A and B are shown apart, each in its own frame.
Chain A
Amino acid sequence: MPNQDAAPAPDPGRRMSRRSLLQGAATAGAAGLAATAMGAAVSQAAASRRPDLARGSGPGQSAAGPIMVHVRDARSGDIELFAGTSQTRIHDQDLAARITRALNGRSN
Chain B
Amino acid sequence: MSSHREAPEISKDPVADSTDLYAFVSPDRKDSVTLIANYVPLQLPAGGPNFYEFGDDVLYQIHIDNDGDGRPEISYQFRFRTELADPDTFLYNTGPIESLRSPNWNRRQFYDVTVVHGRAPRTLGTRLACPPCNIGPLSTPARDYPGIAAAAVHDLGGGVRVFAGQRAEAFYVDLGSIFDLGDLRPFQNLHTTFNIPGLKLAAAPGVNATSNLNVHSIAIQVPISSLTRKGHPTIGVWTTASRQRVTLWDADKGENVNSGPFRQVSRLGNPLFNEVLVPLGKKDQWNSLPPADDKRFAEYVTHPELAGLLPVLYPGVFPHLAGLDAAKKPRADLEAILLTGIPAGIVPGFTNFTGTVLADMLRLNTSIPPTPASQASIYGLLGGDAAGFPNGRRVTDDVVAIELRAIAGVTYALVDKSFKPDAAAGQLTDGLTPASVHATPLGHFPYLGIPYSGYDEPS
Binding site for B on A (CB under 8 A): 1-8, 30, 33, 35, 51-53, 55-61, 65-68, 70, 82-87
Contacts and interface: CB of A to CB of B under 8 A. Distances in A.
B56 A57 contact: yes
B250 interface: yes
A66 B258 CA distance: 8
The prevalent SS among residues of A at the interface is loop
B73 interface: yes
Interface residues of B, number: 44
B257 A60 contact: yes
A3 B112 contact: no
B116 interface: yes
Contacts of B250: 35, 60
B257 A65 contact: yes
Nearest to B75: A2
Interface stretch (B76-84, B346-354, B385-393, B416-424): B76-84
Contact of B59 (A35, A53, A86): A53
B117 A52 contact: no
Given A55-B79, A82-B245, A4 B57 contact: no
A4 B61 CA distance: 9
B296 interface: no
A61 B75 contact: no
Contacts of A55: 79, 112
Interface string B94-131: 00000000000000000110101111010100000000
Contacts of B290: 3, 5-6
B246 interface: yes
A67 B259 contact: yes
A52 B257 contact: no
A87 B72 contact: no
Given A4-B77, A60-B250, A87-B245, A66 B257 contact: yes
Contacts of A70: 246
Interface string B329-369: 00000000000000000000000000000000000000000
Given A68-B260, A87-B261, A52 B246 contact: no
B59 A1 contact: no
25 contacts: A1-B69, A1-B71, A1-B72, A2-B116, A2-B117, A2-B118, A4-B242, A5-B262, A5-B264, A35-B248, A35-B257, A35-B259, A52-B77, A53-B77, A53-B79, A56-B56, A56-B111, A56-B112, A58-B80, A60-B255, A60-B257, A66-B259, A68-B248, A70-B246, A82-B246
A84 B259 contact: yes
Contacts of B121: 2, 51-52
Contacts of B264: 5
A52 B259 contact: no
Given A59-B255, A65-B259, A82-B244, 16 more contacts: A2-B73, A4-B59, A4-B61, A5-B264, A33-B246, A52-B114, A52-B116, A52-B121, A56-B81, A57-B57, A60-B258, A61-B258, A65-B257, A65-B258, A70-B246, A87-B261
Contact of A7 (B72, B117, B119, B261): B261
A52 B3 CA distance: 27
